[in-house]
């Protein structure tokens, strides 16, 4: 039985890029290839170089290219709010998790959520209704749990997640906001089991959804 190891200092840029493509190129995201005509997505493993959605003579494009991802990671690593947590198998093969650092709703919308003004208003109203105490000016946003495709559902995500929650609640902030997909039920149901509340549906091809949760925080200030 293989046991994943939490930690590892970092992984090199090249491994990170391939891992990212591997993770998001497969189900449920299928951001492997994209039809330039319809924006239909095909998994990386399909090797789908011609689309089957509109016209067989239309060539699909790779959804991600290496240069774009390299530049994305270089940019992210310079941001104060960016943090990554890494897990590896004992053979050093990385299984990865990305983490966006402490932020506020307007910054994270610009950086990551990409909601229009009306959508953002809808989200704010929904959060206020579900949990009025949720701190929109100071929360943790974490992106998709990025676990290498072949290693999914071995509770790697759970292990990384628990380590992160322990780290952030010990720093006195328990507000978490996450965006995931309902396209396959597993990630979504996992968050619901962890008592997250669904606060926004994108109603897009990826069936993305935003959820929030507020953890209790250990506060030593009163001692
Ligand atoms: Zn097409």
pTM: 0.66
Q: How far is the CA of 21 from the centre of ligand 1 (A)?
A: 21
The model's pLDDT over 6-37, given as tens digits with 9 standing for 90+, comes to 665 567 788 888 888 888 898 878 999 999 99
Q: How far is the CA of 54 from the centre of ligand 1 (A)?
A: 4
Domains of the chain, residue spans: 5-25+64-214
Helices (H), 55-134: 66-77, 105-108, 117-130
Q: How far is the CA of 32 from the centre of ligand 1 (A)?
A: 14
Q: How far is the CA of 181 from the centre of ligand 1 (A)?
A: 23
Q: How far is the CA of 35 from the centre of ligand 1 (A)?
A: 5
Rounded-to-integer distance, Cα 59 and Cα 34, Å: 9
**Parallel, antiparallel or unpaired: strands 208-214 and 197-201:** antiparallel
Q: How far is the CA of 44 from the centre of ligand 1 (A)?
A: 16
Domain spanning 5-25+64-214: CATH superfamily: Gcn5-related N-acetyltransferase (GNAT) (3.40.630.30)
The model's pLDDT over 126-157, given as tens digits with 9 standing for 90+, comes to 999 999 999 999 999 876 567 777 777 667 77
């Amino acid at each position: 039985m293989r046991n994943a190891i939490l930690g590892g200092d970092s992984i090199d840029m090249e491994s990170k890029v391939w891992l990212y493509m591997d993770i998001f190129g497969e189900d449920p995201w299928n951001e492997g290839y994209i039809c330039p005509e319809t924006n239909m997505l095909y998994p990386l493993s399909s090797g789908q170089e011609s689309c089957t959605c509109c016209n067989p003579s239309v060539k699909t494009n790779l959804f991600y290219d290496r240069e774009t991802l390299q530049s994305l990671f270089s940019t992210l690593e310079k941001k104060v709010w960016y943090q990554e947590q890494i897990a590896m198998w004992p053979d050093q093969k990385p299984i990865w998790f990305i983490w966006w650092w402490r932020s506020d709703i307007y910054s994270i919308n610009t950086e990551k959520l990409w909601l229009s003004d009306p959508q953002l208003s809808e989200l704010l109203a929904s959060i206020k209704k579900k949990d009025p105490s949720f701190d929109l000016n100071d929360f943790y946003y974490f992106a998709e749990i990025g676990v290498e495709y072949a290693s999914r559902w071995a509770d790697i995500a759970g292990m990384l997640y628990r380590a992160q929650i322990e780290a952030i609640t010990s720093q006195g902030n328990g507000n978490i906001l996450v965006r995931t997909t309902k396209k396959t039920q597993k990630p979504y149901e996992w968050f619901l089991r962890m008592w997250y509340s669904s606060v926004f549906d994108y109603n897009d091809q990826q069936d993305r959804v935003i959820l929030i949760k507020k953890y209790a925080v250990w506060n030593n200030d009163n001692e």
